[in-house]
Amino acid sequence: MGGHGHPYSPAELQLPGFVPQRLSQAQIVAPFAGTAVLAVLGAWLVSGRCGGGGRLSRTDRLLMGWWLFTALTHLVFEPPFLFTPDFFSKENPNYFDDLFKEYSKGDSRYAARDTAIVALEAITVGLKGPASLLAVYAIASRKPYGHILQFAVSLGQLYGCLFYFVTAYLDGFSFWASPFYFWAYFVGNNSLWVVIPTLVATRSWKKISAAFQADKVKTR
């Protein structure tokens, strides 16, 4: 820990009453990674048994896992940050307080409660979370709005990530405690929400364009 009572960068960041983290990195990462594995596995097993009117494709079953995991991230792991402005100074920190203390090593704007971060998290928790859950249902029930919904949420996630990186760049690009945290948390963790939404959005774009292409051919 630096001379400023916290382990974050920049060192000038003021966090009065900072309570050091109790959980180790492994204790923080394990429940999050476990949620990811359980969500994908659970969705895979359940979706293999349901499916009125023909089986769901493997891609759709994997996508249900992704949407379940991203919904749990937006609706379980992120809201505590939003509703606990004093998470870094709470005397009896819970798992989520320590989660955001750990993540702040990769982006101290979380501990600093930067406006752009709070706005992003509010929109993510309020809109993308429920919409991700709806996507699980839409795929399972083969709703006609399934593709446009998945496209909309993916685009929102991509827009959010772009905003996240651009604001970090404009504000000096110096919010990580070390290169390890830069690559592991700021780049690594967030790249999940860049790579997968890009794949999902591209797939939905193609399926939607194909539906109109087919429509055009048929009506000629």
Which CB, 145 or 180, lies closer to a second copy? 145
- Closest approach, Cβ 209 to a second copy, in A, equals 4
Which CB, 19 or 153, lies closer to a second copy? 153
- C-alpha distances (whole Å) from 155 to each of 46, 63, 152, 174, 217 are 27, 15, 5, 27, 29
Structure tokens at 171: 């504000």
Which CB, 195 or 208, lies closer to a second copy? 208
- Closest approach, Cβ 22 to a second copy, in A, equals 30
Element (H, E) at 36: helix 25-49
Which CB, 151 or 176, lies closer to a second copy? 151
Binding site for a second copy (CB under 8 A): 115-116, 118-120, 122-123, 142, 144-148, 151-152, 155-156, 159-160, 162-163, 166-167, 170-171, 204-205, 208-216
Q: Scanning the structure block, which residue is given the tokens 């992003």?
A: 120
Q: CB of 34 within 8 A of CB of 26?
A: no
What is the per-residue burial (b if ≥16 Cβ within 10 Å, else e) of 93-124? beebbbbbbbbbbbbbbbbbebeebeebbeeb
- Closest approach, Cβ 41 to a second copy, in A, equals 29
- Closest approach, Cβ 181 to a second copy, in A, equals 21
- Closest approach, Cβ 215 to a second copy, in A, equals 6
Element (H, E) at 7: none
Which CB, 29 or 155, lies closer to a second copy? 155
Which CB, 71 or 201, lies closer to a second copy? 201
- Closest approach, Cβ 152 to a second copy, in A, equals 6
- C-alpha distances (whole Å) from 20 to each of 7, 83, 174, 182 are 9, 20, 21, 20
For the chain, the first-to-last Cα distance in angstroms comes to 70
